[in-house]
Structure 1
Amino acid sequence: MSLLTLQNVKASYGSSEALFDINLSVSEGEVVALMGRNGMGKSTTVKTICRMIPTSGQLTFDGQDLSRLASHQAARLGIGLVPEGRRCFANLTVTENLQAASRSGPWDLARVTTLFPRLDERKRQRASTLSGGEQQMVAVARALMTNPRLLILDEATEGLAPIVRQEIWGAIAQLKNETGMAIIVIDKSLTELAQVCDRATILERGKIVWDGLMTDLTFDISERLIGV
């Protein structure tokens, strides 16, 4: 059963249309890669799901109509976002960043610091003093502290050192294998995506140009549509 469904969804920035008749679904426990070259509509799709921009069409989450909701109301339904650029609260400590997003559920400080032990070591440090990789861990952990049913990661490994990238990918794999959480992942690394994702959707100029099982995403398709 689909947890998230978009049917014939369009989105725009003012008079400029950005998405054209998007049809996308994510089932409970499914990990979906949202792919495409830069500027093709991936982050706009995320903003649409999280109710950050005007849209038309049908959007449902767990059977509820998303189209009439504000972004904070969508989040309360169980949509957790790890935004592009991390956006930690610079003057707050690691613990304060996490507590600021906390909602009741299985994900608490103890559990997120088990997933990312380095955050326990840095818990009293301000976010502004952390490395880029540590800030990204805070961003992922903060989203988990909302206890989401759907986790969206927008370029969560971009610009990070290889060892930190692998730590983030390891956490995503752990979430998939141990929680049954639905996840949407935006990233450019086909190798890592292939290891954790069940399906892939490719966008080009605001339209879906390919959708299918990750195992069916061949080199020829990825080379033609993504350029990797």
Structure 2
Amino acid sequence: MSFLKLQGVTASYGPTQALFGVDLELEAGEVCALMGRNGMGKSSTIKVICRMLKHSAGTVQFDGRDLGPLPSHKAAQAGLGLVPEGRRCFGPLTVYENLIAAARPGPWDFERVCVLFPRLGERSDQMAGSLSGGEQQMLAIGRALMTNPTLLLLDEATEGLAPVVRQEIWAAVATLKRDAGLSLLVVDKSLAELRQVADRAVILERGRSVWSGPMESLDRRVADQYLGV
């Protein structure tokens, strides 16, 4: 049984349909890249998984459990950790306060997060709103890890960051894959970096899954057809 499985998922924002049939499978310990051009349904799919958007058809199963009836906070308690697009840190709180705000018991604590991102330890008493964009992204990832999830979802975690910071984030993702035993679902546009960490990929086109398979099978023809400008 797949650790995460979406089958025939449709969803709408009021009268506007966003997803028309999303299929996705992720095994425990895998990294899956969720890809597609802008506006194709990637963030909507993440919202459905995290129960921030209700699906109207299809099934969403996680670790053998139907997520459909759950509110978002219960989905988080079931083991989903979200790093949302746009970071959304609590600006008036310190780095430390942001990290402990949603902490749950488990192997990820403040000290371990600071090993992954040493800058957070150096800035533990600094207000989150005064951090750079890259530091805020590290904080958003650390905050999600402090919930001790079994599946970490990263929605455009490197978007708009300087190249050197992007590389730090990708190095952290590689570390999480190698050392933490987490499953990861990663939304990003950087195919070169995704090839280094992802085991499989799912590509969305106009709210539908149009390609899925091992990352090494995602060739130039497929990339040009579904990911090119």
TM class, shorter-length: over 0.9
Q: Secondary structure at the match of 2:3?
A: strand
One-letter amino acid of the structure 1 residue matched with residue 126 of structure 2? Q
CA–CA distance in 2 between the matches of 1:126 and 1:84? Answer: 20
| Counterpart for residue 146 of structure 1 | 147
CA–CA distance in 2 between the matches of 1:9 and 1:176? Answer: 27
> How far apart are 1:15 and its partner, in Å?
1.5
1:202 maps onto 2:203 in alignment:
yes
CA–CA distance in 2 between the matches of 1:85 and 1:147? Answer: 21
- Alignment: residue pair count: 228
Give the alignment of 1:105-124 within 5 angstroms.
105-124=106-125
Q: Secondary structure at the match of 2:149?
A: coil
> How far apart are 1:110 and its partner, in Å?
0.5
| Counterpart for residue 25 of structure 2 | 25
CA–CA distance in 1 between the matches of 2:79 and 2:54? Answer: 20
Q: If the length of structure 2 is used for normalisation, what is the TM-score?
A: 0.98
> How far apart are 1:221 and its partner, in Å?
1.0
Give the alignment of 1:181-196 within 5 angstroms.
181-196=182-197
One-letter amino acid of the structure 2 residue matched with residue 27 of structure 1? E
> How far apart are 1:21 and its partner, in Å?
2.0
Structure 1 residue runs of 4+, over 2 Å off? none
| Counterpart for residue 42 of structure 1 | 42
One-letter amino acid of the structure 2 residue matched with residue 160 of structure 1? L
CA–CA distance in 1 between the matches of 2:225 and 2:4? Answer: 28
Q: If the length of structure 1 is used for normalisation, what is the TM-score?
A: 0.98
| Counterpart for residue 172 of structure 2 | 171
| Counterpart for residue 15 of structure 2 | 15
1:65 maps onto 2:35 in alignment:
no
Percent identity, aligned pairs only, is 63
- 5+ long unaligned stretches in structure 2: none
1:129 maps onto 2:130 in alignment:
yes
CA–CA distance in 1 between the matches of 2:99 and 2:108? Answer: 11
> How far apart are 1:138 and its partner, in Å?
0.2
| Counterpart for residue 80 of structure 1 | 81
- 5+ long unaligned stretches in structure 1: none
Coordinate RMSD, CA, aligned: 0.8
**Cα deviation 1:90-148 (Å, max 9, x = unaligned):** 00000000000100000000000000000000000000110000000000000000000
CA–CA distance in 2 between the matches of 1:207 and 1:227? Answer: 17
